[in-house]
Amino acid sequence: MRYAMAIDTKKCVGCSDCVIACQTENNVPIGYCRDWIVEVTDGTYPQLEMEIRSERCNHCDNSPCVRCCPTGASHIVEGGIVLVTPNECIGCGACIASCPYDARYPHPDGHVDKCTFCVHRVEKGQQPACVGVCPTNCLYFGDLDDPKSEVSEILKTRKYKTLIPQAGTEPQLYFLI
Amino acid sequence: MREEIITSGRMNPKIDPYLNIWHWEIPIYLFLGGLAAGILFFAAFYTINGKEKDFPTAIEKTPLIVPFLLVIGLISLFLDLHHKLYFWRLYTTIRLESPMSWGAWVLMIVTPLSFIWAAIHLKKVFPSFKWPFPWLDIIEEFFIKYKKVIAWAMIISSLILGMYTGILLSAFNARPLWNTSILGPLFLVSGLSTGAAMNILFAKTHLEKKTFSTIDLALIGVELFLIVHLFMGLLASTQVQIDAASLFLGGSYTAAFWVLVVLMGMVIPAILEILELWKFKIPLFVPALLVIFGGILLRFIITFAGQTSRWLY
Ligand code: SF4
Ligand code: SF4
């Protein structure tokens, strides 16, 4: 099993509903976020192109954050989801420095926090909170090893990219372009 | 002109607009680790070579400060942790892939060694010193008998410790400035150089002063060579590495790095040491203090600049 997410940059309008849904669902401390919106404007005026992306932890296959953790608090569970166990984490910050996407942050309680792909919902067969709430339905979540899953189907028909694949972490967020 | 404008909605404290997770604690930890490694290396080296008579400062006196350096270093590391109550988790597992983990373990080996080394030399430095309990004398005798073995353990572990202070940073692929294998040797050599400088400060005899200032001169030469290589490597690499190098080549760390670290911490002490070798009267504590000062700043600047160098936005 290999969970992954596809994000349709052509449909995303940058409304930040996914951000709020995550903050509510996961009790994210005020002033912090586990997912966020990035807008890129590229080109020569007036020929400008805009891309809007909903970003979060890439749940990398080759995850430096897990490798550099001195205690094993950062670990990988079933389906490739990367998690942090708060009461094993000493808050050394190594994993934060190791993530090329800066997807982690120090929780005010001391441990490190990040996107969990809403593992508590996924275990029950539900979708991550951000996916469920998106008004344009631009987020797809599922198992890449299952050719019939929503995410596998959409990746078959659309062009996509990952962010900084050259960092070598094998990210599992696929941005449809 | 083609332009790319990126706006991110993420504003996580200590992460944005640039990483700011490590403050003074980590550079101090790295500096003290390197300095301790340098002092222990020379003490062990001259003991193994049977030069006890010629180098009493390096073998007996200077190592007395190492336990303090390492304890302060460990306290700094502890202060850096955000989840302090769980500190002990560091020592319930060894994870070889994590420099933070094996480095903490190396310190757990070097620190007791440095205590033993200091303890068996206390009587030589302070002749009136006596252990309060007779059984301590027995333990001392035991360790003195195995002094050469301890010296061997010290020379190996001090080299690993010195190297580790650089590898802790260079293992982060996510920070292009740090992600160069030069950092391990550079911090090791800088640690040895500050160790030699400490010996110059404490030395009483002309022989020791002269030997360590010559050693320091050679080490500074190696450091300058490594710094040239560091930039050659970064500049010959991909755009993110070039951007990282430009932090020091016109960017916001240019003056601090070239003036304070390279000029004041390496070039000027080297010139003073050369003049001394040419029989000019130079008080050697000046270059020694400059080298130590440069060593501290090198750790600070690399730690801070590295956190501003990134892949994305
Ligand atoms: S995006 Fe960052 S935090 Fe998430 S798995 Fe990859 S390296 Fe780790
Ligand atoms: S901050 Fe916590 S999760 Fe991150 S590397 Fe350190 S111990 Fe592991």
Q: Which residue of A has its CA nearest to B240?
A: A167
Nearest CA to ligand 1 atom 8: A65
DSSP string, B248-308: TTTSTTHHIIIIIIIIIIIIHHHHHHHHHHTT----THHHHHHHHHHHHHHHHHHHHHHHH
Please report, for the domain that includes residue B171, its CATH number. 1.20.1630.10
Cis peptide before A165 (omega within 30 of 0): no
Q: What is chain B's pLDDT, residue by residue, as a tens digit (313 residues)?
A: 788 899 999 999 999 999 999 999 999 999 999 999 999 999 999 999 999 999 999 999 999 999 999 999 999 999 999 999 999 999 999 999 999 999 999 999 999 999 999 999 999 999 999 999 999 999 999 999 999 999 999 999 999 999 999 999 999 999 999 999 999 999 999 999 999 999 999 999 999 999 999 999 999 999 999 999 999 999 999 999 999 999 999 999 999 999 999 999 999 999 999 999 998 888 999 999 999 999 999 999 999 999 999 998 8
Q: Distance between CA atoms of B79 and B15, rounded to whole angstroms?
A: 19
**C-beta separation of A81 from A143 below 8 A:** no
Looking at the complex, report in whole angstroms how far the Cα of residue B6 sits from the nearest Cα belonging to chain A. 4
Domain membership flag for residue B2 = no
In the prediction, which pLDDT does B282 show?
87
Looking at the complex, report in whole angstroms how far the Cα of residue B79 sits from the nearest Cα belonging to chain A. 10
Q: Distance between CA atoms of B291 and B221, rounded to whole angstroms?
A: 13
Domain membership flag for residue B18 = no
A116 pocket-lining for ligand 1 (C-beta < 6 Å): no
Alpha-carbon distance values, B8 to A102, A129, B244 (Å): 12, 21, 21
Give the structural domain span for B77.
25-308
Domain membership flag for residue B1 = no
What's the structural domain count of chain A?
1
Q: Which of B7, B12, B92 to mutate to test binding with chain A, by most A CBs within 10 Å of its CB?
A: B12
Domain membership flag for residue B16 = no
- Ligand 1 binding pocket mutation candidate from A89, A101, A113 (most atoms within 8 A of CB): A101
Per-residue model confidence as pLDDT tens digits over A50-71: 999 999 999 999 999 999 999 9
Q: Which of B98, B240, B303 to mutate to test binding with chain A, by most A CBs within 10 Å of its CB?
A: B98
Q: Distance between CA atoms of B112 and B108, rounded to whole angstroms?
A: 7
Asked if B312's CB is within 8 angstroms of A102's CB, the reply is: yes
Q: Which residues pair with A145 in a beta bridge?
A: none
Q: Of chain A residues 121-150, which have a CB less than 8 A from chain B?
A: none
CA A67–ligand 2 middle distance (angstroms): 10
Q: What is the DSSP letter of B61?
A: I
Give the structural domain span for A37.
3-176
- The pairing of strands A36-44 and B3-8 is antiparallel
In the prediction, which pLDDT does B2 show?
83
Please report, for the domain that includes residue A95, its CATH number. 3.30.70.20
Domain membership flag for residue B301 = yes
Q: Tokens for A43?
A: 């080109």
Domain membership flag for residue B292 = yes
What's the structural domain count of chain B?
1
**C-beta separation of B98 from A72 below 8 A:** no
